[in-house]
Chain A
Amino acid sequence: MSQYNKIIFTGPVGAGKTTAIASLSDIPPVSTDAAASDMTKERKSSTTVALDYGVMNLPGGEKIHLYGTPGQERFDFMWDILTTGGIGLVLLLDNTRADPFQDVKFFTSKFRDFIEATSLVVGVTQMDLSPKPMLEEYHKQFELLGLKPPIFEVDGRVRADVSLLVQALLYAIDPVLEEQ
């Protein structure tokens, strides 16, 4: 069987990718952090410069690899490599950013082929700090792009939120899926 054992987390800097992976991972996630030096430093003191990695252990010894893409555009050359063998894409969007709809357009464009071949779910973070835009508005933006993914409010620190998001990813692939 060809490789089919990754779930990819993507989104802009500060959206919560590292945190979300940490919530699901059965091992302490590997994060490659460095002090932020560019515009990132205005949002965070440190940021992921290569990728995040976590693992979900399944019965029978199989592992699902959780990869978080680096948030800055200059690392986008890695995204194609990361998506090979991927089950689907989790896009996290930060609702406190100045133009989250631009993030929607950017990331759906960059990952369009992967989304078309697999599945997409969207988690909107920081809605407690910034309630708008509302989820309804995100749905409209995605509809303009010809997409109708699950879009949930999530807190990356809350395991149940991240779990529901990934469950939706699986059901979007196969609605009649049942637990083993």
Chain B
Amino acid sequence: MFSALLTSKGRLPKGVDVNQGFFLKRWPGMTRLMLPPHAMRVAALLTQQPHLLFEAAQRMGIRQQYVFAFVSAAHALGLIGQQEIVIEAEKPPEEEKPVVKPERKSLLKKILSRLKLI
């Protein structure tokens, strides 16, 4: 995976369609890989459901190249799938329920910070 990461230089592999959604077929074994920045977040997002890569980067507030780098590396491992995204009419913000309650999200952030000190 690391070789694919280095050679991709943040570019997407040939044959993928950026106008289709990308999803991760399964998580890579991350304890035995050198991980690019934000790899775990990208993996989690693309495992949950397919995303357009630009949308994924925007949603996570990270640079597109980090998403592209992960996708390139995962693609080299045969872990990336693609499907068409059907764009539904946008819901008003007040109808969007948070995935995680705010008070719980705060706690999860603290746990994450604590774990990253290890």
Partner of A168, one of B40, B108, B113: B40
Partner of A177, one of B31, B48, B109: B109
Instruction: Point out the residues of chain B lying under 8 angstroms from A159, CB to CB.
Output: 118
Q: Is there an interface contact between B29 and A153, defined as CB atoms closer than 8 Å?
A: yes
Most B CB within 10 A of own CB, among A59, A154, A168 = A168
* Interface secondary structure of B, over-half rule: helix
Q: Which bucket holds chain B's interface residue count?
A: 20 to 34
The reply to whether the CB of B97 lies closer than 8 angstroms to some CB of chain A is no
Query: What is the CB-to-nearest-CB distance from B58 to chain A, in angstroms, rounded to a whole number?
Result: 10
Q: Is there an interface contact between A164 and B31, defined as CB atoms closer than 8 Å?
A: yes
* Interface secondary structure of A, over-half rule: mixed
Query: Known contacts being A164-B31, A180-B110, is A171 close to B118, with CB within 8 Å?
Result: no
The reply to whether the CB of B9 lies closer than 8 angstroms to some CB of chain A is no
Q: Is there an interface contact between B26 and A148, defined as CB atoms closer than 8 Å?
A: yes
List the interface of chain B (C-beta within 8 A of A).
26-27, 29-32, 40-45, 47-48, 59-61, 99-100, 103-116, 118
19 extra A-B contacts, CB within 8 A, seeds A150-B30, A168-B30, A172-B44? A59-B113, A60-B110, A62-B107, A148-B47, A150-B27, A151-B26, A151-B27, A152-B30, A152-B31, A153-B32, A164-B31, A164-B40, A168-B44, A171-B43, A174-B100, A175-B44, A177-B105, A177-B108, A178-B112
